[in-house]
Amino acid sequence: MKKRILGNLEVSALGLGCMGMSGTYGAAPDGAEMIRLLRAAHEQGLTFFDTAEAYGPFANEELLGEGLEPIRDDVVIGTKFGFDIDLATGARRGGVNSRPEHVKAVADAALKRLRTDRIDLFYQHRVDPNVPIEDVAGALKDLIDEGKVRHWGLSEASVATIRRAHAVQPLAAVQSEYSLFWRGPETELLPALEELGIGFVPFTPLGAGFLSGKIDENTTFAEGDFRNLVPRLSPEARKANLALVEVIKPIAARRNATPAQVALAWLLAQKPWIVPIPGTTKLHRLEENLGAVDLELTQADLAEIGEALERIDVEGERLPDAVLKMTNL
């Protein structure tokens, strides 16, 4: 497996987004099966696993703690703090909470759930407008000095916030959505990260599965599947947005690849410090995604995609309004 660097943290060129392993896309899959998938990912060279206290809450971290414990020293675990969740009960109180004392308590709780003595990459899941980012960075500096956290990052943060945070305690990575479906980071975020030497971890790199080419306007998502709430994945929007999939299908056919592999290879080709984290609960999808690491698109391929994207207007917002309002972009 090829490696990439986030700040000065080495990880596999592709990571695994683990959120769906404890729900989000309908009913939670079987835990034992997900543990087998985690270990299969490691066996195939993947070393970077992404979770968060909010996934469950707590269930996803507990799953990774059990699944990765035997191989802990061989993997990099990224988890997140920042939502206002009762640490005793897991009850969501609504909103965000990045008060330094809460951040430190979340770190201690996450260490126990993950069955580890350090968090490799600790992200602020959403920026807290009521806590200066300098105070958050100070709390992370303390955690890093104590050895509980190795590196830290931000998720869905503006360039101004990133600069302020980085000045107090250097960031290893920033997470945000980025794919053929959503190219917002290209304008300001990617140039700033390159300037500062911060890595980028795109989530939803396959557009919640849409770029796989397996979803159209007639697809029915399961009850409880988050995609039922996403405006750009409404049946009408899906029908219009299939134009994106049509762009990558002929390239996939020429390269003996799948549309998903082309979509991931496109992301990997943008910058050498980009590490996408596609999620899956199926071994064959994991293997398909990993195949993208060795798919090197030519300049002609990239130009063809770029020219086609200029002619396509994606229909629908990337997230529900309530979720968009919690971003700091």
Q: Which residues are catalytic?
A: 55
Best CA proximity match to 153, nearest among 184, 127, 188, 179 = 127
Best CA proximity match to 5, nearest among 39, 50, 38, 47 = 47
**Which residue has tokens 């959503």?**
182
Best CA proximity match to 229, nearest among 319, 113, 139, 123 = 319
Helices (H), the chain: 31-43, 59-68, 100-113, 133-146, 159-168, 189-196, 235-254, 259-270, 283-290, 299-309, 321-324
Best CA proximity match to 23, nearest among 283, 217, 234, 223 = 223
Spatial CB neighbours of 257, under 8 Å, sequence gap ≥ 6? 251, 265, 291, 292, 295
Sheet order of strands, 149-155 included: 16-17, 48-50, 76-81, 119-124, 149-155, 173-177, 199-203
> What residues does 199 pair with on adjacent strands?
173
Structure token digits, residue 63: 């799953």
Contact 156, 175 (CB under 8 A): yes
Q: Rounded to an integer, what distance in angstroms lies between the CA atom of residue 224 and that of residue 61?
A: 21
Q: Rounded to an integer, what distance in angstroms lies between the CA atom of residue 82 and that of residue 55?
A: 12
